[in-house]
Amino acid sequence: MKPRISVVTLGVDDIERSVTFYRDGLGLPTEGIVGRDSEIGGIAFFELRGGLKLAIMSRAGLAWETGTPQAPPSQAGFTLAHNVSTREEVDLVLEQALRAGAALVKPAQDVFWGGYSGYFQDPDGYLWEVAWNPFWPLDE
């Protein structure tokens, strides 16, 4: 197996609300919800850098697609991270997320590894870190 992840899919409570949050609130590009008439009830893909895609579908659709029981919402176990180019950009992205309907979990602050980061939760409770890491320069 090659060390690559192509798509991260999140099960959400309300796909319309989540599209609004990610597209309109955070500015992630998408062609909107596709496959509304399918067994999963639709899915939306958001283009991220480096060819990675973020996908959202209903929790029920994700359970149907995977053949597993529908899981209750949970934030435990992982976070999604969005690295930015400057310390100041961390604060700007956190403010943007809050305006879009996110909940602030941890205000931005200096962290033990030498950077600056904070956390928010999206409308479905998924944890996102917004971080500036001076040791990981980004290709713009």
The residue extents of the domains of the chain are 7-66, 80-132
Question: One fold for both 7-66 and 80-132?
Answer: yes
**So what's the pLDDT on residue 73?**
77
Alpha helices for 2-138 (secondary structure H): 15-19, 59-66, 87-99
pLDDT along the chain (140 residues), means of 10: 86 95 97 92 93 93 87 76 95 98 96 94 93 86
Say what the pTM is.
0.85
Q: From 2.40.50.100, 3.50.50.60, 3.40.190.290, 3.10.180.10, which CATH number describes the 80-132 domain?
A: 3.10.180.10
Token pair listed for 45: 């893909």
**So what's the pLDDT on residue 89?**
96
Residues in Cβ contact with 11 at an 8 Å cutoff, skipping those fewer than 6 apart = 56, 57, 58, 59, 61, 62, 63, 71, 124
**So what's the pLDDT on residue 29?**
97
* Fold assignment, 7-66: 2,3-Dihydroxybiphenyl 1,2-Dioxygenase; domain 1 (3.10.180)
**So what's the pLDDT on residue 77?**
67
